Amino acid sequence: MNASVDTADVPLEEARNLLIDLVSIPSPSGEESEAADRLVEFFSAHGREAWIDEVGNVRAPADDAVLLTSHVDTVPGQVPVEVQPADADDLEADVAEEEGEDVLWGRGSVDATGPLAAMAAAAVRTGVSFVGVVGEETNSRGARHLVVDREEPDAVVNGEPSGTDGITLGYRGFLVGTYVASSESGHTSRPEPNAIQHATEWWTSVEEAFEPEDGADEVPVFEQVTAKPVAIDGGISDDGLSVEATLEAQLRVPPSMDVETVRETAEDELEIGTVSWAEPIPPVMESPRTEVARAFRAAIRKESEDPRLLRKTGTSDMNLYAGAWNCPMATYGPGNSDLDHAPDERLSLAEFDRSVAVLERVATTLADADD
């Protein structure tokens, strides 16, 4: 679909107002509707057709030379929303702030309402397609629905913080498992291991199975499988007859491996108990030579910055898009990812402005090449 859609001017002040409005609206996963309404209102005000689909995504289809998409939801947590000048005493070398410039504080300003608002502004300015997806911070229900409900675009730019000079081309995959075990209850003086011990022994074995081999201390984290327990619960059952244990685990999978191999390795360590797996997210590593990556490098240089090619140790919706669509893609957005989910989450508004300009140039370049 390469429908012709009129473009419209979006002054930077209006783009900033959209950003501030969206950050001011609490939108943790599952509670995105008010923020979604604000996005629909923004597109409608500029003559663009937009609606909220059956899972809650904001859809604004147009020229599919490129699809700009980011997530509407944030993680829980309250960071007071305010715009303040950057304080020289608080500046950090890795945060793109200069003394005196306006900085927006608030949950989601970096992850990923900043990228979301920048993409909405760029989509209206250039007439390209836009989707704001829901549930990225939990189960990616919005992206999972999108890849089966719409045609493949010619290119995708996913919105996550990379800094105005960063182009993210790789993410590790994601595998979530739930281990469950039970054992007969008995006096704690007995030597036989109980279910809680079985759970911890299994997890220790899994961690050891994925430890880098001797001499591989210099292997980057991106190229390793990392295993992390995120919750454990156990104790005597309600009827007092057994000990029960549940362990929630996450494994990150590098592009050099497939999720199925990692799952099998974890299961090979299983002697007692069972483990069930959620639907996995595959890893992704895009080429730096695609038209999307080239367009970003040129656009970033126009902003007098040196482009950086990034690989992230986490996971994003781009993994799902790459697994379903055979088109070039990259991830981009304003903000320092070290501030994701942090109590001091904040975004330089000057950086936000530059990201809108970069996205506009990229979308224009890809749309012109598609004509």
Task: Write down the CATH superfamily of domain 12-171+283-370.
Answer: Zn peptidases (3.40.630.10)
Q: 3-state class of 97 per DSSP?
A: coil
pTM above 0.75, yes or no: yes
CATH assignment of 173-277? Answer: 3.30.70.360
Tell me the binding residues for Zn(2+): 71, 111, 137, 160, 341
Parse the chain into domains and list their residue ranges.
12-171+283-370, 173-277
Q: In which region does residue 179 sit, left (phi positive, over 0), alpha (psi from -120 to 50) or beta (all else)?
A: beta
Same fold: 12-171+283-370 with 173-277:
no
Active-site residue list: 73, 136
Neighbours of 208 (CB within 10 A): 10
Question: Please, which residues have CB within 8 angstroms of residue 42's CB and are 6 or more apart in sequence?
Answer: 18, 120, 124
Q: Give the C-alpha separation, 358 to 333, whole Å.
A: 9
Tell me the pLDDT of the chain (371 aa) as tens digits: 456 677 889 999 999 999 999 999 999 999 999 999 999 999 999 999 999 999 999 999 999 999 999 999 999 999 999 999 987 555 554 455 565 689 999 999 999 999 999 999 999 999 999 999 999 999 999 999 999 999 999 999 999 999 999 999 999 999 999 999 999 887 677 788 999 999 999 999 999 999 987 656 688 999 999 999 999 999 999 899 999 999 999 999 999 999 999 999 999 999 999 999 999 999 999 999 999 999 999 999 999 999 999 999 999 999 999 999 999 999 999 999 999 999 999 999 999 999 999 999 999 999 999 87
Residue 86 tokens, joined: 């950057």
Residue 371: its pLDDT value, please?
Answer: 75
Q: Give the C-alpha separation, 193 to 185, whole Å.
A: 10
